[in-house]
Structure formats: structure tokens, C-alpha cells
């Protein structure tokens, strides 16, 4: 049985549960207990406060878990990063009152900055050779300048609307963050085998999200060029159509180059292009 730590409630909860579901793992968590067994995989989930998760994993109480990169970097835990999960994306930024002029980081010199991420902020300021007063607070960082507690803030930003509402503007980005699947270095060999099974599923789910299945019809004279821009997993499937001189091509295209590829296919006289989401992709 592997023990996986997941945020109890908050920004990473839904996506974490959804990811496990897509990996074929259904948790018996109807009443939001602190612990839940999976019906169909030897896995037990612990629902914890996000900030506590790295410590539980480092101590070997949980074998692995899902946690924001920002918290891992701030607390510098000795954990193994198994997979970057692509959700919970945000950035740790410094922000100042919107009406203040800002030219460079030197403008922060001597200022008081409120944050819950004093470790990362301190490291950043040291690298930039700027000296500031860091005021560590537990939450609601963004109101600090408005109530006279600090001149600037260093906090997580995703849409930027919290900064906007509080009359602040982002001036420096310290790091970009996303949720990560991390494992304890104290895990047993037996649990590592289960973890590898889970990782294979996670990878299949992630790859499927990053790729689309594509079907199209093309005249035979452009097939060779189409094959070159549609490499697929090994190579595309090509089948002749009932109409002489035409073929059907099936392949897989990465999401990040999708529209570029479509434009090239159109230029090569491809027609009837169908794009289908992939549920799982196992290489
Ligand atoms: O579970 P626990 O209560 O202990 O933890 P928590 O309160 O820190 O959890 P939560 O759910 O707020 O954050 C968990 C993790 O989600 C963070 O450590 C990040 O890795 C990630 N994450 C992603 C975020 C955000 N986006 C985010 N926008 N965490 C917090 N915010 C906050 C930010 O602090 C600010 O108050 O949202 C506000 C800004 O959002 P925008 O959209 O207005 O810019």
C-alpha cells in the first residue's frame, strides 16, 4: 500500500483528485475524511494542509504527494521530484503600489517587503545585491502596503486580479511554479514498485493531454511532405481512399505546435481534417 499526501482543500485539491481519477484511482472520500483508501489500487490518500505535505513526505509518513514547487523551494526539502503536473501554475512576484515609479530592482533598496516566502525572497535579493527589510507574515500579504505594514509585497500571483484589487503592480518575478508529484527518499522498494506503476499512469494522462489524434485526407502527390510534418508516435498510418489518388492519414500532433501543423497541412492540400482528444497515451 502506498501512502499519498494530497491537499485537504484549496487550490490543488480538485486537480489532484481529478489526476488520480484519470489514472484509474477512485478514492473512497465521500465524507472528506483525513484518510481514504482507493477501491482499485493499493493506495491510501492522506488529506493534509498544503504547507505540511513536504514534511510528511520527508519524514516517510507518506511515500509521495502533490505539492506546489514554491513550497518545496521555500523550505528546501530533500525530496525526489517524480513528475511536473502542469496544474496549480502561479508565480512568486514582488509588487509595489501602482502609482509608484519603478525602473529597476535597485528601486527596492531599503524598502520593507511583506511576504510568507522569506527564504526565496532573501535569496533573490542577495543574488541581485539589493538590501531590503523582510517582514514575514502568515497570510493576506497583499493588504500590507495599504495598511502601512510594508512598502511592497512578495506573493503568489496567478491571474493578477488580487494585486489589481489592492492597488499593486508586479515588478519582479522570483520564480514560476506548478504542482509537482514528489516522493520520499525513505520509501521502501515494494512501495517504489507501486509508485512506478502510478507514475506510468500519470505520464500516460499527461502525454494524452499534450497531444491530439488527427485524421485527414490528402492527395497522394503531397503524402511524402505530409508524413515529414506528421511524425506521429512511430510514423503515421496511411490508408488508400476509395477515390483513386487520395489517401487517409492518421497521426498524433503535439498541442503546442498544433495550429502551425494545421496551416502546413492545409498548404499541402489536406482536406477533411478531424481532430480527436486522446484519453491515454502509453508509449
Ligand atoms: O492547504 P493550506 O491551507 O495549508 O495551504 P494554502 O492556504 O497555502 O493553500 P492554497 O490553496 O492557497 O495554495 C496552495 C498552492 O496552490 C500554492 O502553494 C501554490 O503552489 C498554488 N497556487 C496557484 C496558488 C495560487 N495559484 C494563488 N493564486 N496559491 C495561492 N494563490 C493566492 C495568492 O497567494 C494570492 O492571495 O491567490 C491570490 C492571487 O491570485 P490571483 O489569481 O488574484 O493572482
- Helix/strand/coil for 281: coil
Find out whether the beta carbon of 158 lies less than 6 Å from any atom of ligand 1.
Answer: yes
User: Which of 8, 10, 16, 67 best tests ligand 1's pocket when mutated (most atoms within 8 Å of CB)?
Assistant: 10
Q: Residue 64 C-alpha to ligand 1 middle, in angstroms?
A: 21
What are the start-end ranges of the E strands in 61-105? 64-68, 80-84, 90-97
Q: What is the reported pLDDT for 235? A: 87
Find out whether the beta carbon of 16 lies less than 6 Å from any atom of ligand 1.
Answer: no
For the chain, helix, strand, coil in percent to 5 are 35, 35, 35
Q: What is the reported pLDDT for 239? A: 96
| Total residue length of the chain | 283
Find out whether the beta carbon of 11 lies less than 6 Å from any atom of ligand 1.
Answer: yes
How far apart, in whole angstroms, are the C-alpha atoms of residue 201 and residue 219?
A: 38
Q: Residue 69 C-alpha to ligand 1 middle, in angstroms?
A: 12
* Residue closest to 86 by CA, chosen among 209, 252, 256: 209
The DSSP element (H or E) to which 262 belongs, if any, is: helix 258-267
2: number of Cβ within 10 Å = 23
Asked if residues 121 and 52 have their Cβ atoms less than 8 Å apart, the reply is: no
For the chain, 283 residues long, give each residue's pLDDT as a single digit of tens.
Answer: 999 999 999 999 999 999 999 999 988 776 578 899 998 899 999 999 999 999 999 999 999 999 999 999 998 899 999 999 999 999 999 999 999 999 999 999 999 999 999 999 999 999 999 999 999 999 899 999 999 999 999 999 999 999 999 999 999 999 999 999 999 999 999 999 999 999 999 999 998 999 999 999 999 999 999 999 987 778 899 999 999 999 999 999 998 899 999 999 999 999 999 999 999 888 8
Q: Residue 11 C-alpha to ligand 1 middle, in angstroms?
A: 6
Which residues are 27's β-sheet partners? 38
Find out whether the beta carbon of 155 lies less than 6 Å from any atom of ligand 1.
Answer: yes
- Helix/strand/coil for 245: coil
Q: What is the reported pLDDT for 30? A: 64
Q: Given CA atoms 8, 279, 69, 198 in this order, what sign does their dihedral have? A: positive
> If you take atom 3 of ligand 1, which residue's CA is the nearest one?
49
Give the number of the atom of ligand 1 that is nearest the alpha carbon of residue 10.
11
Find out whether the beta carbon of 156 lies less than 6 Å from any atom of ligand 1.
Answer: yes
Give the number of the atom of ligand 1 that is nearest the alpha carbon of residue 142.
36
Amino acid at each position: 500500500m502506498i501512502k499519498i499526501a494530497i491537499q485537504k482543500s484549496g487550490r490543488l485539491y480538485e486537480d489532484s483528485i481529478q489526476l488520480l481519477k484519470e489514472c484509474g484511482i477512485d478514492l473512497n472520500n465521500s465524507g472528506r475524511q483525513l484518510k481514504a483508501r482507493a477501491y482499485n489500487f493499493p493506495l491510501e490518500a492522506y488529506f493534509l494542509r498544503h504547507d505540511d505535505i513536504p514534511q510528511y513526505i520527508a519524514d516517510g509518513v507518506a511515500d509521495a504527494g502533490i505539492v506546489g514547487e514554491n513550497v518545496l523551494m521555500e523550505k528546501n526539502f530533500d525530496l525526489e521530484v517524480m513528475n511536473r503536473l502542469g496544474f496549480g501554475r502561479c508565480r512568486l512576484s514582488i509588487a509595489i503600489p501602482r502609482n509608484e515609479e519603478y525602473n529597476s530592482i535597485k528601486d527596492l533598496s531599503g524598502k520593507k517587503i511583506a511576504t510568507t516566502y522569506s527564504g526565496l525572497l532573501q535569496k533573490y535579493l542577495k543574488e541581485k545585491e539589493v538590501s531590503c527589510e523582510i517582514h514575514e507574515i502568515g497570510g493576506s500579504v497583499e493588504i500590507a502596503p495599504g495598511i502601512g505594514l510594508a512598502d511592497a509585497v512578495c506573493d503568489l500571483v496567478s491571474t493578477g486580479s488580487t494585486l489589481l484589487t489592492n492597488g499593486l503592480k508586479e515588478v519582479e518575478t522570483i520564480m514560476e511554479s506548478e504542482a509537482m508529484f514528489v516522493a520520499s527518499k525513505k520509501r521502501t522498494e515494494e512501495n517504489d514498485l507501486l509508485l512506478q506503476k502510478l507514475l506510468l499512469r500519470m505520464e500516460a494522462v499527461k502525454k494524452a493531454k499534450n497531444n491530439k489524434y488527427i485524421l485527414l485526407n490528402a492527395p497522394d502527390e503531397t503524402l511524402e511532405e505530409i508524413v515529414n510534418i506528421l511524425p506521429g508516435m512511430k510514423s503515421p498510418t496511411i490508408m488508400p481512399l476509395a477515390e483513386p489518388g487520395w489517401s487517409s492519414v492518421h497521426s498524433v500532433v503535439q498541442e503546442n505546435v498544433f495550429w502551425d501543423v494545421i496551416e502546413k497541412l492545409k498548404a499541402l492540400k489536406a482536406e477533411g481534417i478531424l481532430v480527436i482528444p486522446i484519453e491515454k497515451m502509453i508509449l
